C-alpha cells in the first residue's frame, strides 16, 4: 500500500545535504541520516533546526510550540525535550530560527532563546497582539534579527533584545530572508493570491515589488542563494517553485519533475555543491 506524508518545515545541515530533519502533519519529526529516514518524536511535527557546527544535533517542534524535541545522534533517538514557556501558546506552526553561532530562538507572543535547556525571554519590546509568525536572522550578522507579526515587520540590531517597527505590508508577511552577505538587502513575501515578493535595499525600512512574472497564487517562502554574483532567488508558492536572478526581468517556473504542489519551505545546501 502507498504511503504519503506532508512536511510542514525542513532543515538541512550546513555541512552536508545527507543530514536533514523535518516536521510532518500527524506524523511527528522525521530525521534523515545514513541514507535513512527515522521518526524520533510524535504528534504533529512542525518547524525544525540543525546545529550549524554539530550536524548530529537536531531540533523539532510539535504543534503550537507545545514541545521542542532534541536528538544528539542525528535522529536515531530522542535525547531531551523542552516544554513551552509558561503561559505561552504559539501558532500552529511556531517558528524556530538558529543563528550562525548555534543559538536557537522561538516565537510565541514573544521571542525566546534556548538557554540551559529552557526557553528564556529574549525581547524587552512588544510586537503587539498575537503571535510571532516569522523569525529571520541575518546570516552574516547574528545581531540583526527580523520578526514578522501579521503584516508588521520588526527589526533588532542587538540579537533580539529590542526591536523597532520598520515596515507595514499590505497583507500578512509569510516569509523573510536576508541576503547571504549583504545586510542591507532583505526579501519578504506576503499572503493572498495578490500577495507580493518585495525587496529592500535599506535594511528593511522600505521595499519595492519584484513580483514580475508571477501568477496570482500564494507566495509562501523565499530563499536567497549565496556564493553567486547573480543573486539567485527561489520562491515556494502554492503551485511549486519559481526562480529569478539578476540576469532576468521576471520570475520563471523552476519545477522540472516537481508536481504542482504547494511548497511551504525551501532550504539550500551549498557545502555539497562546491
Distance CA 231, CA 244 (A): 8
> 148: burial class by Cβ within 10 Å (0-12, 13-18, 19+)?
buried
8-state DSSP, 140: T
Residue 105's CB is within 10 A of a number of other CB atoms, namely: 24
Can you tell me whether residue 23 is helix, strand or coil? strand
Give the distance from CA 164 to its chain's centroid.
21
Q: What are the beta bridge partners of residue 173?
A: 190
Q: What is the pLDDT along the chain (274 residues), one digit of tens a residue?
A: 446 788 878 888 888 889 998 888 878 888 889 899 999 989 888 889 999 999 999 999 999 999 999 999 999 999 999 999 999 999 999 999 999 999 999 999 999 999 999 999 999 999 999 999 999 999 999 999 999 999 999 999 999 999 999 999 999 999 999 999 999 999 999 999 999 999 999 999 999 999 999 999 999 999 999 999 999 999 999 999 999 999 999 999 999 999 889 999 999 887 655 4
Query: Which of 183, 73, 59, 37 lies closest to 113, judged by CA?
Result: 59
pLDDT the model gives residue 14: 86
CB 43 within 8 A of CB 63: yes
pLDDT the model gives residue 211: 98
pTM: 0.93
pLDDT the model gives residue 274: 46
Amino acid at each position: 500500500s502507498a504511503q504519503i506524508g506532508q512536511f510542514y518545515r525542513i532543515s538541512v545541515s550546513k555541512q552536508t545535504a545527507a543530514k536533514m530533519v523535518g516536521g510532518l502533519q500527524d506524523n511527528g519529526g522525521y530525521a534523515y541520516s545514513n541514507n535513512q529516514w527515522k521518526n524520533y518524536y510524535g504528534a504533529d511535527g512542525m518547524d525544525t533546526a540543525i546545529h550549524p557546527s554539530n550536524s548530529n544535533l537536531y531540533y523539532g517542534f510539535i504543534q503550537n510550540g507545545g514541545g521542542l524535541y532534541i536528538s544528539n545522534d542525528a535522529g536515531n533517538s530522542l535525547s531531551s525535550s523542552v516544554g513551552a514557556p509558561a503561559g505561552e501558546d504559539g501558532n500552529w506552526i511556531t517558528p524556530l530560527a538558529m543563528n550562525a553561532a548555534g543559538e536557537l530562538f522561538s516565537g510565541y507572543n514573544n521571542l525566546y532563546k534556548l538557554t540551559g535547556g529552557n526557553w528564556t525571554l529574549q525581547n524587552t519590546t512588544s510586537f503587539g497582539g498575537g503571535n510571532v509568525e516569522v523569525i529571520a536572522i541575518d546570516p552574516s550578522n547574528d545581531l540583526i534579527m527580523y520578526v514578522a507579526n501579521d503584516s508588521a515587520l520588526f527589526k533588532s540590531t542587538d540579537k533580539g533584545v529590542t526591536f523597532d517597527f520598520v515596515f507595514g505590508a499590505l497583507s500578512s508577511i509569510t516569509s523573510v530572508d536576508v541576503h547571504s552577505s549583504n545586510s542591507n538587502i532583505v526579501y519578504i513575501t506576503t499572503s493572498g493570491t495578490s500577495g507580493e515578493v518585495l525587496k529592500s535595499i535599506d535594511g528593511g525600512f522600505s521595499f519595492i515589488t519584484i513580483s514580475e512574472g508571477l501568477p496570482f497564487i500564494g507566495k509562501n517562502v523565499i530563499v536567497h542563494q549565496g556564493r553567486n554574483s547573480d543573486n539567485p532567488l527561489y520562491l515556494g508558492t502554492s503551485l511549486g517553485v519559481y526562480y529569478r536572478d539578476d540576469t532576468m526581468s521576471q520570475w520563471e517556473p523552476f519545477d522540472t519533475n516537481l508536481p504542482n504542489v504547494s511548497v511551504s519551505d525551501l532550504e539550500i545546501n551549498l557545502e555539497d555543491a562546491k
